[in-house]
Each structure stands twice: as structure tokens, then as C-alpha cells.
Chains A and B, each alone.
Chain A
Amino acid sequence: MKKLLITLSLILGATPILAENIDVTGTVQSRCTVNVDTPGMYGNPNAYTLTTASASSGVDPIVRFDVTLADAYHAQVSYPTAFTSSPSLPDTVSWVGTVAVAQMSTSDQSGYQAASTTSGSMRQYALAHAGTLWVKATSIATYGGGQAKAFPGGAYKAVVLAQCIAQ
């Protein structure tokens, strides 16, 4: 009996331990998400002006860009230069607007505004760091070609275009 136990223990001890390494793999891909943080609204401080300024009961539109990898995308935001829908406007409309960084998720992004470039109404940011960036656009439309004519009554819409372009 004793010999049997010793033999058995030797056999079990000699049994190789079967183990398999299971690889867990993953890939981090670049990705950009464009989010509407705050939809804009026009206020009407006087008969001939439509503005998104909060002092005039408007709301500045804010767009948010989320990127998961650095140096993969450019963010581009354009303020409006025309109405996409409005009542008939026989006179000219003058457009003014700005695009600026409103908030950022890391201090690394603090140089974005200074490093940004513009082309017409569009401002471009090179998203050199992973994280979140909030960009605010402002828009002022004045009717009458400097003669302060009243906007005709009705609903006015203009489009802020926010783009994420792969570098």
C-alpha cells in the first residue's frame, strides 16, 4: 500500500502542467466625435439686427470635439455668412462672426487658439492632443446695407458648420 502511494505520487508529480497563454489584444484607433453642446439662438435687440449675443437674448452656439488620439484630426468651425431660410430679403445683409475656444479638457490644449488659422469665416484648429475641445461661434446679421432697415417678420435660420477632418 505504501509503495502504491509513493508510485502514485511520483506519477502525479511527473504529470506536466498544461498551460496556455491567451493573448488579449486591442487597438486604439483615432476617432473624432462632433457634438452639439449648445444650439444657438438669435436675439433681436433692434429691428435691423439679429445676434447670438446673450446680452441681446441670444445664445452663442457651442460645439464640442472629442478626439481619442493626438495629431489625427483638424477641427474646423465656420460662422454663418448667409441665412439658410428666411423671409424674402430684397436688401443686403451684413454678417459678422467669430470662432474661439470656449473650454478645453487639458492644459496642453491652451495653445490651440493662438495656433489656429483662418480662411474667410472658417477657423481651423490642429487637434494635437487627445481630449475634448469646446468651440464657440458668434454671429451678427445686420439688415439694410448700413441703413438700418428693419428685418421682415418671420423665422431666420443660419448654419454653423463644425467639421472634423482627418490629417
Chain B
Amino acid sequence: MYRSVALCLLLCSSVLGHEMTPTYPEWQVSYSGGIKKTTMRLWNSREDVQYYEIGVFDDEWKPIPFVTSYKIMKVDYLSQVKFDVYIRETNIKDARYICSLSKLRSDNVSKTLLATRICSKFKAAWEL
């Protein structure tokens, strides 16, 4: 019974939050020389959030230059967006994390807002 409840909670969770996959993306060849790309999937089940900001960072969380169709993406409630991230080959060795951060709306109530961020990791060769 206890396991069933836990399983239900795990499965039912997909309609309440923010999720980005894959956890460990890999760079792939793109149509342009000297540029690599990876494809990510972002799922939004936060009713209070419609926009997510994408970022690529190094080991010390310093930003790495990259290109996507939009750096702030609109992801409607209960929908998913697949997007490509492009990066110069010279930056690949530094790029460690790709993150999506929820962008919050403002209203007139005194409260704590909950920002959510999920970061996938590019594993180094020695970590594989």
C-alpha cells in the first residue's frame, strides 16, 4: 500500500511541475561547420508559469555563449517544447550545464514566490 502511494505520487507528479530532459545531453553535429547542437525537452505543468529562461554554464556557473531560437521560451501549461541549443566547438569543453529557469509573474499579494530551475549536465569523458 505504502509503495503504491509512493508510486502514484511519482506518476501523478507529471502534472504539477517543471521538468527538463535529457539529464545528460550530448553534443551532436549540426548543419554548420564549427557548431555543435543538442536537443532538449522542456515540460511545463506549472499553471503559474508560462516562460522559461535557458542558460548554458561552465563548471563555476559562468555563462557560456550559445544560441537557441529564443532564450526565454514560452511553454504553455501542460505542454512540452523541444528546442535545439547551438554552441561553438571551441566552447564545448567548458560547457557543463544547461539550465531552464522559471520566470515568475507579479501580482499584488505579499508572498514568497517559488522559482524552479533544472540543470542537465554535459558529462566529461572521464565521468562516462
Contact = CB atoms under 8 A, between A and B. Distances in A.
A158 B112 CA distance: 5
Contacts of B97: 165-166
Contact of B6 (A36, A41, A105, A137): A105
A101 to B, nearest CB: 15
B124 interface: no
Task: Tell me whether chain A's interface is mostly helix, strand or loop, or mixed.
Answer: strand
Interface residues of A, number: 46
Interface in B67-81: none
Contacts, number: 129
B110 A155 contact: yes
B17 A161 contact: no
B48, B107, B111, B121, most chain A CB atoms within 10 A:
B111
Interface residues of B, number: 33
Interface stretch (A18-26, A60-68, A110-118): A60-68
B50 interface: no
A33 interface: yes
Interface string A1-42: 000000000000000000000000000011111111101111
B46 A36 contact: yes
Interface string B2-42: 00001001100110111101111000000000000000000
A93 interface: no
Nearest to A105: B6
B115 A30 contact: no
A44 B117 CA distance: 29
B73 to A, nearest CB: 17
Contacts of B9: 66, 105, 132
A29 to B, nearest CB: 6
Nearest to B14: A33
B119 interface: yes
Contacts of A147: none
Closest 4 CB pairs of A and B: A40-B112, A35-B17, A166-B121, A34-B116
10 contacts: A35-B13, A35-B16, A39-B113, A61-B112, A64-B16, A66-B9, A66-B17, A131-B10, A164-B119, A165-B119
